[in-house]
Structure 1
Amino acid sequence: MALLRVIERDRRDVLGEGPLWSARDDAVYWTDILGHRINRLSLAGGAVESWRMPGYTGWVIERESGGFVAGIGREVAVLDPDGTIIDRIARIEPDRAGNRVNDAKADAAGRVWMGTMPITADKPTGGFYRLDPEGAVTLVDHGYSIANGPAIGADGQTILHTDSGLGIIYRFQLDAAGNPGERTEFIRFEPHWGKPDGMTFDAEGGLWVACWGGGCVMRFTPEGERDRIIELPASQISSCTFAGPNLDRMFVTSAAVDVDEPLGGALFEVDPGCRGLPTHRYRG
């Protein structure tokens, strides 16, 4: 039977998201978007800490020069190692007060790829953006109702992005300068799978997808064929990441919003049976 561990702590996430492995800190970080929090699990001792943030906190990513950057509301903020905001470096969609940032990943070039969505999750006003190290923000794609789960391939030339509302995972190919081509449909979810949410690649090119409403994480082959399912004791599974010195442990976030489940909003650890890819940092 596969490993399944519930991380012990004194609270559940309203909307857990964005798990991040930090080899620097030997810790897993993740956010509670609706709870306005950043959480940290120390792998060495198992202690969990939590910091209250001033708004919807979609993601947190390590910064090459130290500390972190985080998507809060419609801004990108710089945080010190203890989670205190020390600067704000970018505004996203300043003219769309009804939107917020949702999920993001950094690539090997030190850029951050992130999505936005309406707070109400009911209209296609969200977008997909690239934040460059010098602070420039570029619109990559638009028309998302629930922008989710960037995943970056090992070659650095393939980026996947999801509209959870439509149940579609899209693929973008990047040129040598990091500019994406036209999006193509990669995987369309069957209705009984739930909705594709956060995603990550493993070292073999497999894609792991958290299934919102499906109570599991699924693995897809590089060709987009479903080949493995790990079921979890919560329905709203939101994202996953590989962690640990060998990148062979997987941590999975979930949500408690709109459900009455004992483990809704828990952080889980499962055995993926494979290894992941290293975490990249923002170079700005």
Structure 2
Amino acid sequence: MTNFRIVARPTRDLLGEGPYWSARAGALFWVDIMGARLWALTLANDRLRNWPMPEKICWVVEQAVSDNLLAGFKSGIADLALEPMAIRPRLAPEPDRPHNRLNDAKVDPAGRLWFGSKDDRDQEASGAFYSLDGKGRLRRHDDGYLVTNGPTFSPEGDYVYHTDSGRGRVYRFPLHADGTLGERSLFLQFEDGWGAPDGMTTDAEGYLWIAHWGGGRVSRFDPRGRLDRSVPLPATNITSCTFAGPGLDRMFVTSASVDTDGGEAQGALFEIDPGVTGLAPIAFGG
């Protein structure tokens, strides 16, 4: 008996990423970055929808003060309405880094957006780690990343975890009430044979679930960084994961078909039974 299902759809993602559960829409959103497409799966009936985008789209989150989504594009952050589609740019965080694009984001319990960037050519360590608060204040907290990924938070919101996939490292920062960060520490160094740490999420017990790019699985780590268990999947490049559903007891996992053998499951959206519940996603506060 398999411990996963592949969500049925007629295509596969080039670079599936950024799964986000919207209780408001009753749907799981995720993006195909290289395919420049946003997807939505309504969980009550498995209805699939998708929207082509004018450029690479890297993530979406809900907003507390608007029905629009907040989206990260290659060119920057924008408000995104879907029906009818309208895109209103908000800010370009890196006008001095034209080869970069955004990569992965989450909202902390205070409603602040945390996101990273990376060199879209995979040549330079030009990625950085940012936050954006509800008043539009942008902060650059850390720099020099090969591939930013992750961010996720402790259940209490007092720590933020962030990944440099290119170096196989997951970092931990104390997160202060004013939105500043304490000193960065190494939470986890991926071992040889594990692939690279990609997107991640936190469950209600404070354990981290991390996708293995090049490692074909998603794993659960305890709050001290020790491996608890892994769920193998039939795709090489597992990219991210999130809890979804009214009970936050379903887990969906994205993958990529780039840099693989092109098999049927590469780039699929998977559902697994995590055996635990997750934390409710927070809407951006601005």
Per the TM superposition, whether the score is higher than 0.5 is yes
Q: 1:16-42, CA deviations, whole angstroms, 9 ceiling, x for partnerless residues?
A: 000001111111000001101110001
What's the CA shift for 1:182? 1.6
**With structure 2 as the length reference, what TM-score do the two structures score?**
0.97
Report the Cα distance in structure 1 between the residues aligned to 2:256 and 2:41, rounded to whole angstroms: 17
Q: Equivalent residue for 1:243?
A: 244
Structure 1 residues 82, 228: CA separation in 2 closer, same or farther (over 3 Å shift)?
farther
What's the CA shift for 1:3? 3.2
Q: What is the 5 A alignment of 1:149-168? A: 149-168=150-169
Alignment partner of 2:278 out of 250, 267, 276: 276
Alignment partner of 1:265 out of 260, 264, 267: 267
Q: Equivalent residue for 2:106?
A: 105
Q: What is the 5 A alignment of 1:1-284? A: 1=1, 3-65=3-65, 66-82=67-83, 84-260=85-261, 261-284=263-286
- Does the 8 Å CA contact 1:251/1:270 hold for their aligned counterparts? yes
Q: Which amino acid aligns with 1:20?
A: Y
Q: 1:32-59, CA deviations, whole angstroms, 9 ceiling, x for partnerless residues?
A: 0110111000101101111111111111
Report the Cα distance in structure 2 between the residues aligned to 1:26 and 1:100, rounded to whole angstroms: 29
Report the Cα distance in structure 1 between the residues aligned to 2:280 and 2:253, rounded to whole angstroms: 17
Which secondary structure does the structure 1 equivalent of 2:31 belong to?
A: strand
**With structure 1 as the length reference, what TM-score do the two structures score?**
0.97
Q: Which amino acid aligns with 2:206?
A: G
- Does the 8 Å CA contact 1:77/1:85 hold for their aligned counterparts? no
- Does the 8 Å CA contact 1:153/1:205 hold for their aligned counterparts? yes
Structure 1 residues 85, 92: CA separation in 2 closer, same or farther (over 3 Å shift)?
farther
Which secondary structure does the structure 2 equivalent of 1:30 belong to?
A: strand
Report the Cα distance in structure 2 between the residues aligned to 1:214 and 1:35, rounded to whole angstroms: 22
Unaligned runs of 5+ in 2: none
Report the Cα distance in structure 2 between the residues aligned to 1:132 and 1:218, rounded to whole angstroms: 31
Report the Cα distance in structure 2 between the residues aligned to 1:13 and 1:43, rounded to whole angstroms: 19
Say how many residue pairs are matched: 284
Q: Which amino acid aligns with 2:285?
A: R
What's the CA shift for 1:271? 0.6
Report the Cα distance in structure 2 between the residues aligned to 1:56 and 1:3, rounded to whole angstroms: 32
Which secondary structure does the structure 2 equivalent of 1:165 belong to?
A: helix
The list of structure 1 runs, each at least 4 consecutive aligned residues, that deviate by more than 2 angstroms after superposition, is: 81-86
Report the Cα distance in structure 1 between the residues aligned to 2:54 and 2:207, rounded to whole angstroms: 36
- What is the percent sequence identity of the aligned residues? 49
